[in-house]
Amino acid sequence: MATPPIPWRGRYEPGVPQGLSPADRSFPQLLVEAAGAAPGQTALVYYRRRSSYAQLNARVSTAAQAFRRFGLQRGDRVAVALPNAPGTCDVLLGIMRAGGVVLALPDAAPTAGLLATLADQPLRLAITWSGARTDLRTALAATAPLVMVDPVHDLPLLPRIMARMGGLLGRGALGRETQGARLQRWERFIRGAKGGDDPAVGPEDPALELPLAGGGTVAFNHAQLVSGALMLRAWLADTVPGEDSWLPLLPLASPFGLVTVLGAAPLARARVVLLPHWDGAVITDLSRWMPIAYAFADGAAMHALVQDPHLPEADLGSVRGWIVGDPLAAPDRLAFEAATGLDVCQGLAPAHAAGLVLCNPVNGHREPDSLGLLLPGVAARTHPGAGGRGHLELRGPNMAGSGWQQLSPPLVANSDGYIQVDGAAPAGVG
- How many CB atoms lie under 10 A from the CB of residue 79? 25
Q: Is 263 within a domain?
A: yes
Name the band, by pLDDT with cuts 50, 70 and 90, for residue 154.
confident
Nearest-5° Cα angle at 299, 225 to 260: 25
pLDDT of the residue at 170? 47
pLDDT > 80? residue 198: no
pLDDT of the residue at 160? 61
CA–CA distance, 43 with 137 (Å, rounded to integer): 30
- How many CB atoms lie under 10 A from the CB of residue 275? 18
Q: Domain check: are 145 and 265 in the same one?
A: no
Name the strand (E) or helix (H) holding 42. Answer: strand 42-46
Q: Domain check: are 190 and 272 in the same one?
A: no
Closest to 263 measured CA to CA, from 96, 104, 407: 96
pLDDT > 80? residue 92: yes
Nearby residues of 363 by Cβ (< 8 Å), 6 or more positions away = 13, 238, 320, 321
Q: Is 209 within a domain?
A: no
pLDDT > 70? residue 111: no
Q: Is 177 within a domain?
A: yes
Q: Domain check: are 107 and 3 in the same one?
A: no
pLDDT > 80? residue 199: no
pLDDT > 60? residue 387: no
pLDDT of the residue at 1? 52
CA–CA distance, 171 with 173 (Å, rounded to integer): 7
Beta strand segments in 298-430, E: 321-324, 344-348, 358-359, 373-374, 379-383, 391-395, 411-413, 419-421
Q: Domain check: are 237 and 115 in the same one?
A: no
Nearby residues of 238 by Cβ (< 8 Å), 6 or more positions away = 13, 15, 320, 362, 363
* C-alpha torsion sign, points 44, 167, 180, 211: negative
CA–CA distance, 51 with 156 (Å, rounded to integer): 11
Q: Is 126 within a domain?
A: yes
pLDDT of the residue at 364? 86
DSSP string, 369-386: TS-BEEPTT-EEEEE--G
Q: Is 210 within a domain?
A: no
**Domain termination site, one of 201, 230, 262:** 201
Q: What is the mean pLDDT of residues 383-405?
A: 82
Q: Is 197 within a domain?
A: yes
Q: Domain check: are 14 and 83 in the same one?
A: no
Name the band, by pLDDT with cuts 50, 70 and 90, for residue 336.
very high
Q: Domain check: are 196 and 287 in the same one?
A: no
> What CATH number has the domain bearing residue 7?
3.40.50.12780
Q: Is 213 within a domain?
A: no
pLDDT > 90? residue 32: yes
Q: Domain check: are 324 and 232 in the same one?
A: yes
**Domain termination site, one of 171, 201, 231:** 201
More confident residue, 367 or 175: 367
pLDDT > 70? residue 164: no
More confident residue, 295 or 429: 295
Q: Domain check: are 298 and 376 in the same one?
A: yes
> What CATH number has the domain bearing residue 115?
3.40.50.980
Name the band, by pLDDT with cuts 50, 70 and 90, for residue 171.
very low
Name the strand (E) or helix (H) holding 111. Answer: helix 111-120
pLDDT of the residue at 146? 94
pLDDT > 50? residue 314: yes
Q: Is 168 within a domain?
A: yes
Cβ atoms of 97 and 60 within 8 Å: the answer is yes
Domain, as residue range, for 228: 1-25+220-430
pLDDT > 70? residue 179: no
Q: Domain check: are 366 and 229 in the same one?
A: yes
What total number of domains does the chain contain? Answer: 2
pLDDT of the residue at 410? 87
* pTM, full prediction: 0.92
Q: Domain check: are 197 and 234 in the same one?
A: no
Q: What is the mean pLDDT of residues 175-202?
A: 76
Q: What is the mean pLDDT of residues 260-286?
A: 94
**Domain termination site, one of 201, 236, 255:** 201
CA–CA distance, 67 with 44 (Å, rounded to integer): 23
Cβ atoms of 237 and 16 within 8 Å: the answer is yes
pLDDT > 90? residue 72: yes
CA–CA distance, 246 with 242 (Å, rounded to integer): 11
Q: Domain check: are 148 and 239 in the same one?
A: no
Closest to 236 measured CA to CA, from 342, 417, 375: 375
Closest to 400 measured CA to CA, from 184, 207, 265: 207
Q: Domain check: are 232 and 181 in the same one?
A: no
Q: What is the mean pLDDT of residues 190-216?
A: 85
pLDDT of the residue at 218? 93
pLDDT of the residue at 214? 77
